[in-house]
Amino acid sequence: MKYRSKLWKTALILCLLLLPAIIYAQGTRADYERANKLRDKFQGLAVNVPERTSWIGTTSRFWYRKSVKGGNEFVLVDAETLTKKSAFDHAKLAASLSAAAPQTQQVRTGFQFPGQAPAPQAQTQKASPDEKWEALIQNYNVFIRPKGKTEASPLSFDGSEGNYYTLASIAWSPDSKRLVAYRVRPGYQRLVHYVESSPTDQLQPKHSTREYAKPGDTLDIAQPGLFDVEAKKQVVIDNSLFPNPYSLSNPVWWKDGRAFTFEYNQRGHQVYRVIEVDVATGKARALISEEPQTFFSYRPLTGNLRETGTRYRYDLSDGKEIIWASERDGWRHLYLVDGMTGQVKNQITKGDWVFRAVDKVDEGKRQIWFQASGMNPKQDPYFSHFYRINFDGTGLTALAEADGNHMVTYSSDMKYFVDTWSRVDLPPVSELRSTEDKKLLLELERGDTKDLIAAGWRVPEVFRAKGRDGQTDIWGVLFRPSNFVPSKKYPVIESIYAGPQGSFVPKSFSAYYAQQSLVELGFIVVQIDGMGTANRSKAFHDVAWKNLGDAGFPDRILWHKAVAAKYPFYDISRVGIYGGSAGGQNSTGGVLFHPEFYKAAVSNCGCHDNRMDKMWWNEQWMGWPLGTHYAASSNVDNAYRLKGALLMSVGELDTNVDPSSTFQVVNALMKADKKFDLLVVPGGGHGSGGDFFLRLQRDFFVHHLLSVEPPDWNKTEPKKQ
């Protein structure tokens, strides 16, 4: 009996010791199944969540769709009467559609669809505004002829096969007396070669090519030519203000015909000018010249608040004044420029905050309606807010001030606006307001997440910590698993995309984030915007200049350490990292340049060497000409540094990033005798791999960070091909 009693005690002690491991087991098949079902589980549980408002023409009415239990509902609102109702009877509509379905099918069955419409004919000439002349290209030169005639007269004589005029660039003056055209000296036409190993329509592989300019390649060089139609002569334009173009925008004439303008983006993106050419003399002058020490972010400001540039231009009074965006004072702001002298009349917006987009320019009232972020010091500096300001910089008025990320839509007369705002930790609130006094007229919706939270949804946590300078706040977000236990230790995985063209940490509410499926396997997943990304100060952004290998890692690592200091569950002895495209370069860079911190990395379709990737993106941040800084940031040249675990994936038909970028890392790793994993996706494009890759990524982190063997998927029922 004593012996049996001791056995029972030993068994009990073992059970007690193993109980936490059983309760808190991670990376199990059950975890995978829960992760796979998470999106569907959460779908539709957040209710009264509105989508973007659409105003109806010039009326005071608008509609939107919102989530309700079991689906969606369309809502119609009248801002004048402050009435709100369903846009239609959803039950009756569903019944009507169901009843009409068989009849509709019969009609379609008996209808013969016409053949494909003929492709539009390529333009072969450009008519003058007075319809008297046509301009065309013959023998690489500019010719004109009376409209409707066949015989043409030359305006230029210097065009050739190696330096030719283009029809697309021809722009007539408003009075039809002059025209401008670009003469283009072609550069190097690089081809990237592809082999499709497993085409669906034949057994044998296929070969294809794609034009793809890379950093350092010789570019097409365009230069403008000005022509006097009546005199049939060319006016020479001195190109000293635009000698080495990366690009010239299409020429645009002032309405009075006094001059035409174009924008000059110099190779290397450190000079950007608005050039005006006087038609009487052919003399060129710079109305605006941006000459930063680093880069001018030349992408246009379009209202896409995740990926954005600096370029914004609005011409007033036929160019007498110009509204222009610049970072010349260290922050992206608007300036009013005198179009006659080229001098800045006044800075319109000013302060340690960022202008983001223009919604409307009211020339009559001389006002600008715009979006900005960072003006509220107690809020997340990335939150978008909406404002109005006078051209002279006075009268700054905040229209949407609540602590959240805002989306505003205005009525056509700007009398009303709908403000919908949220945070990752707060469901949307949608309100109808008057623009005159910002008065709340009607609360439209207030998102409800009670059922979502009851189903296990964990509210993401916004976290900030000081960056490498000890002063600047670095912002990120944490995702916890639905079965989170505070007393447990969790490995950490960082989702990274450090592309300098934007900022990428989510700022608005969503019932499901892609990171949550990975979280469910037993991790904390985070996303951070480090220095080098956009939408903060120019100095914050400039960290990326000729330095993409930095990827904000010094800030990111400090952020991780700050979280770990606050939360014992946050285990920074086991940190992984993953990303795609530029994020693929970044994630691999984590285990190459910071292996003391990042222990495992997954990289999908990475642009691992900035000399191998597309010119337009990489020269913007890495500059021109190429130098040793390209090699310093290269995952190929630094592959020998690998410590820890690395999984790379590449689609063999990736037309965004040359697949050879990944294979060159593979080659360097093999030469350095390093261990790694590689997935090549037959027929795959950029970011390919689908569910198979996602499962492989999960398995990789489960194995390397949880030290658990993932399920043996080869023992499951095989899928039919």
Q: How many CB atoms lie within 10 A of CB 248?
A: 19
Q: What average pLDDT does range 187-208 have in this prediction?
A: 98
**Where residue 553 falls among pLDDT bands split at 50, 70, 90?**
very high
CA atoms of 536 and 504, how far apart (whole Å) = 12
Q: What percent of the chain has pLDDT over 90?
A: 88
**Where residue 592 falls among pLDDT bands split at 50, 70, 90?**
very high
Give residue-wise pLDDT tens across range 36-51. Answer: 999 999 999 999 999 9
DSSP 535: S
Q: Give me the pLDDT at residue 720, please.
A: 65
Q: Give me the pLDDT at residue 2, please.
A: 53
Name which of 510, 628, 635 is nearest 582 in CA terms.
Answer: 635
CA atoms of 13 and 1, how far apart (whole Å) = 18
Q: Give me the pLDDT at residue 171, please.
A: 98
Instruction: Give yes or no for residue 20 having a pLDDT over 50.
Output: no
Q: Give me the pLDDT at residue 459, please.
A: 97
Q: What average pLDDT does range 66-74 have in this prediction?
A: 96
Amino acid in the structure at residue 4: R
Q: Which domains occur in the chain, in start order?
A: 25-44+451-711 (3.40.50.1820), 123-291 (2.140.10.30), 292-423 (2.120.10.30)
Q: What average pLDDT does range 94-101 have in this prediction?
A: 52
Question: Pairing mode, if any, of strands 524-529 and 385-390?
Answer: unpaired
Q: Give me the pLDDT at residue 89, please.
A: 72
Treating both helix axes as pointing N-terminal to C-terminal, what angle do 553-566 and 582-593 enclose, rounded to 10 degrees? 70
Q: How many CA atoms lie within 13 A of 30 on its CB side?
A: 6
Q: Give me the pLDDT at residue 27, please.
A: 85
Count Cβ atoms within 10 A of the Cβ of residue 717 and give its class: 0-12 exposed, 13-18 middle, 19 or more buried: exposed
Residues 6+ apart with CB under 8 A from 38: 482, 512, 516, 517, 520
Count Cβ atoms within 10 A of the Cβ of residue 295 and give its class: 0-12 exposed, 13-18 middle, 19 or more buried: buried
Instruction: Give yes or no for residue 303 having a pLDDT over 80.
Output: no
Give residue-wise pLDDT tens across range 113-155. Answer: 336 444 556 789 999 999 999 999 999 999 999 999 999 999 9
Name which of 307, 332, 354, 355 is nearest 503 in CA terms.
Answer: 307
Q: Give me the pLDDT at residue 122, please.
A: 74
Amino acid in the structure at residue 619: E
For 571, the enclosing helix (H) or strand (E) is strand 570-580
Please state which of the ranges 86-90, 569-573, 599-603 shows the lowest mean pLDDT.
Answer: 86-90
CA atoms of 139 and 149, how far apart (whole Å) = 18
Q: Give me the pLDDT at residue 177, please.
A: 97
Beta-ladder partners of 313: 324
Q: Give me the pLDDT at residue 14, please.
A: 45
- The answer to whether the CB of 212 falls within 8 A of the CB of 233 is no
Q: What average pLDDT does range 171-192 have in this prediction?
A: 98
Give residue-wise pLDDT tens across range 652-665. Answer: 999 999 999 999 99
For every residue of 404-464, DSSP letters joined together read SEEEEEE-TTSSEEEEEEEETTEEEEEEEEETTT--EEEEEEE-B-HHHHHTTPPPPEEEE
User: Is the Cα torsion angle 624, 626, 632, 636 positive or negative in sign?
Assistant: positive
**Where residue 108 falls among pLDDT bands split at 50, 70, 90?**
very low
In this structure, what token pair is assigned to residue 391? 């051209």
Q: Give me the pLDDT at residue 234, please.
A: 96
CA atoms of 527 and 556, how far apart (whole Å) = 9
CA atoms of 657 and 660, how far apart (whole Å) = 8
Q: Give me the pLDDT at residue 26, please.
A: 79
Q: What average pLDDT does range 14-25 have in this prediction?
A: 45
Give residue-wise pLDDT tens across range 594-610. Answer: 999 999 999 999 999 99
Q: Give me the pLDDT at residue 675, please.
A: 98
Please state which of the ranges 110-119, 284-293, 343-352, 359-368 shows the lowest mean pLDDT.
Answer: 110-119
For every residue of 299-326, DSSP letters joined together read SB--S-SSB--SB-EEEETTTTEEEEEE
Q: Give me the pLDDT at residue 647, please.
A: 98
Q: Give me the pLDDT at residue 401, please.
A: 87
Q: Give me the pLDDT at residue 94, please.
A: 52
Q: Give me the pLDDT at residue 308, please.
A: 76
Tell me: cis bond preceding 625? Omega within 30 of 0 counts: yes
Give residue-wise pLDDT tens across range 210-260. Answer: 999 999 999 999 999 999 999 999 998 999 999 999 999 999 999 999 999
From residue 450, give the alpha-carbon distance in Å to each of 67, 93, 429, 537: 14, 29, 15, 38
